[in-house]
Each structure stands twice: as C-alpha cells, then as structure tokens.
Amino acid sequence: MASILVAEDLSAVGGISLSAAVPVLTAMDYQVAVLPTSLLSTHTSGYGRPAIVDLAQWLPQVFQHWTAAELDFQQALIGYVGSVELCQLLTTYLQAQALDLLVVDPVLGDLGRLYDGFDADYVAAMRRLIAPADVILPNVTEACLLTGLSYQDQPALVTLLTQLQGLLKPGAKAVITDVTQADKIGCAWLTDGQVQFVGQPRLAGHYNGTGDTLAAVLTGLLGQGHDLKTSVTLANQWLNAAVAATLAEHRTDARQGINLKPILKAILA
Ligand code: ADP
Ligand code: MG
C-alpha cells in the first residue's frame, strides 16, 4: 500500500475537497494522510459565510511530530492552501520529503479572477509551491495568474502551456483542467511542443468539487503508474459519469458536491 499525503481544506458540509479525495484515494488502495489546511463549517459556495479555523499554528506542530516520528510519504496531493504562510510551510516540508509523485492543484481563482482574500503575494507563494511539482492542475484562470498572461476564456493553449512549463522543473507537466473544445470539457497539456486534449461532452449545470475530485482521481491513477494520457482520459470519463449521476438525481439543493458512486465503482471494478 502506497502512502499519500493529501493537504487541502476540510469543509464539514458540501462533499468537496478532502471529503471527496479521501474516499477516492482509499478506494484506490492508498494509505491516506489527511491534512486539512483549514477547517470550514461548509464550503464557500452558497451557504453564506462559513465558520473558519485557521490552522497556521497547528501545521508546524504536525510537521515537527511527523518528522520526529519518522513518517514518510511516497506521494502527495496539494489542493487549496489559503495563506502565504501555509504555502511556505508546505514548500519547506515537501522539500525534505523524497516523493515519487507531487501533484499540486494551484487553487487561486476562477472565471478570470482571484478568489477573495488572495493577492499577488499569494500567487508568488503558489509559484514557489509548484516549482518542485511533477504535475500541476491549474484551470485557465490559474494558468493565466501563474504565468502573468492576461485572462481569456479560450486562450492560445500552446502559449499558455509553454509559459507554465517554464515555471516547472524538467520533466514536469502542466495540465489545464477546464478547457472547452467544441461541445467537450476536458484537459490540455503539451507533448513535444504539441497541445494534447482529452475531454468528454459537457453536461448541463455547474457542480461544486469537480476540480478537487478530478485532482484526486488523476493523482491516484498517476501514482498507480498509469501514463499521463491514460490517467487524464480515465479521470475525465469517470468525472463525466459522476456529473451524469448527479444530474440524474434531480437535486433540489445544488450545493452538495458530485455523486462519487460512479467513480468508486469504476475504481473497484
Ligand atoms: P473546478 O471548477 O471545480 O476546478 P473544472 O470545471 O475544472 O472544476 O472541472 C473539472 C473536471 O470535471 C473537468 O475536466 C470535467 O472532467 C469535469 N466536469 C466539470 N463540469 C462538467 C460538466 N458540466 N459536464 C461534464 N464534466 C464536467
Ligand atoms: Mg480547479
């Protein structure tokens, strides 16, 4: 059983981020170290202002304890972090780990804008956090913020991806996660300077937690040794099935994250 460190927010209600990553990676046979970067009563989309506990005091103590206990992780997935201080703490801790795989979802913003509370210093801290990553999973907005290119919802992918690659170590891959091509939504990355795209039909509606779940699925598949194209293809198929299952429920409350059952079934099949 491989061990994986997953660091992102824990939102008690809403079924996204850590609440989605843990079942997915557990089903994939990982021993999961579940590290909340902050605690929220709900996620931040549609429930009003959540009660939040900042864990900046706790995280250094966690890392100290883990180091003393000689706990090592083979892989890591980093999602929402939340402050410059926490980005720096994670960057330092990860440097001391001999990881086979580090995936960073550089959560910064969406629809061309930084999320509330983030600024240029936070973007700079995120650039330092992605520098040692093997794979990063920005959306188009995050790709623009990281590279400094101006936001377009249909950007020149080859330019954006080439600039992103320049922020990463040799051999690492930038994968943009919310790329639209015709009627499809999917992911784009570069192979030998050529843009690769894998996607699935875009289904009606907008769902919380799709990006977090995609990151967990992709990390798990890559960590199991699948190549990037296979991993991205399977991840997009499974996410599409999860969105379809969510649609079929005709939910009256659209705030809850997607139905994970099709993904768990596919993993266990
Ligand atoms: P987020 O905004 O949460 O980061 P994205 O919009 O990047 O999430 O979506 C991540 C993945 O989820 C996409 O690559 C796709 O596989 C799937 N997905 C998201 N929304 C839809 C949709 N409306 N229809 C089908 N698949 C979707
Ligand atoms: Mg995202």
Residue 160 pLDDT: 98
Q: Per-residue pLDDT averaged across 26-50, rounded?
A: 97
Residue 119 pLDDT: 97
Q: Per-residue pLDDT averaged across 189-202, rounded?
A: 98
Q: Is the pLDDT of residue 153 over 90?
A: no
Residue 207 pLDDT: 93
Give the integer Cα–Cα distance in Å for 204 and 21. 24
Provide the mean pLDDT of the chain: 97
Residue with CA closest to ligand 1 atom 23: 203
Give percent of the chain with pLDDT exceeding 90. Answer: 98
Q: Is the pLDDT of residue 51 over 90?
A: yes
107 Cα–ligand 2 center, Å: 6
Residue 257 pLDDT: 96
Q: What is the pLDDT confidence band of residue 258, given thresholds at 50, 70 and 90?
A: very high
For residue 262, what is the domain's CATH number? 3.40.1190.20
Q: Per-residue pLDDT averaged across 122-127, rounded?
A: 98
250 Cα–ligand 1 center, Å: 18
156's tokens: 């020149």
212 Cα–ligand 2 center, Å: 6
Q: Per-residue pLDDT averaged across 81-89, rounded?
A: 96
Q: Domain total for the chain?
A: 1
Residues having CB closer than 6 A to ligand 1 are: 110, 139, 177-178, 185-187, 200, 202-203, 205, 207, 210-211, 214, 236, 239-240, 243
Residue 259 pLDDT: 97
Q: Per-residue pLDDT averaged across 252-262, rounded?
A: 96
Q: What is the pLDDT confidence band of residue 1, given thresholds at 50, 70 and 90?
A: confident
**Domain span at 260:** 3-268
Q: Is the pLDDT of residue 236 over 90?
A: yes
| Sheet strands (E) in 202-243 | none
Torsion of CA 157, 163, 168, 171, to 10 degrees: 60
Cβ atoms of residues 6 and 28 within 8 Å: no
104 Cα–ligand 2 center, Å: 11
Residue with CA closest to ligand 1 atom 2: 211
- With a threshold of 0.90, tell me whether the complex ipTM lies above it: yes
Residue 17 pLDDT: 97
- Burial (Cβ within 10 Å: 0-12, 13-18, ≥19) of residue 139: buried
Per-residue b or e along 220-240, where b marks 16 or more CB atoms closer than 10 Å to that residue's CB: bbbbeebebeebbbbbbbbbb
Residue 83 pLDDT: 95
Summarize pLDDT for 204-215 with one digit per residue, the tens.
989 999 999 999
- Atom number in ligand 1 closest to CA 202: 24
